[in-house]
Copies of this chain bind each other. A is one copy, B any other.
């Protein structure tokens, strides 16, 4: 009844095939009045953690939405589809950890339901394209005002599959954290929140090897120099002014980076 005017859509489908469009079609056929914001469809294939991170960092800036996300290497197996309810909107997708970080960013999980109502889906659901046949149609029905309880039975939040928590350790004069993402500009985002930088001062060493300075924006350091900053998603991040930190540091998501006070 109330429903949502917006659906956000996040996948690893790429834009070279018609997969994303077919899902847009599934939504348009059920809830033509709803509008879709594409978060990204360039999550690396099957990279659930990357999908979870980008959705969690984007969803809070969207209008109240049904967020449907599909990075789903287990499509067609016994893995559940789920709907999560949060103060900031609904989340729809596979139960593989993809949705949890976004749910927390939207205020936490208030209710979880299995997505199993066959009435919601076409009779000939494919075994390999649940985005088109299950998740997008469910998002469209929920945006159109269908009741969460009609999606399927309530499930215990504690049974939801979670990704491992990224490593973040804060010590006296040092910080160790996992690389969470690397963005288009080569900026290296750590799993640590910006507040962990307090007490480290303005002159830092990265992995004991390269010098960096604390600052607010790229131009706060010289051209080609390393900057440590709190990024626009509230995370500690490392950039190179007019360069690519990912190249200078030679790291990738999952690697551990250590920041220490420079002596």
Contacts and interface: CB of A to CB of B under 8 A. Distances in A.
A16 B184 contact: yes
A104 interface: no
Interface string A29-67: 100100101111110011000000011011001110000
A232 B128 contact: yes
A41 B18 CA distance: 10
B5 A62 contact: no
Number of this chain's copies in the assembly equals 3
A127 interface: yes
A21 interface: yes
A218 B75 contact: yes
A203 interface: no
Nearest to A215: B127
Contacts of A220: 76
Nearest to A234: B126
A128 to B, nearest CB: 5
Interface stretch (A6-14, A153-161, A171-179): A6-14
A129 interface: yes
A42 B15 CA distance: 7
Nearest to A54: B18
Nearest to A189: B17
B42 A16 contact: yes
Interface in A63-114: 63, 73-77
A75 B8 CA distance: 27
Interface in A153-203: 181, 183-185
A132 B74 CA distance: 34
A28 interface: yes
A213 interface: no
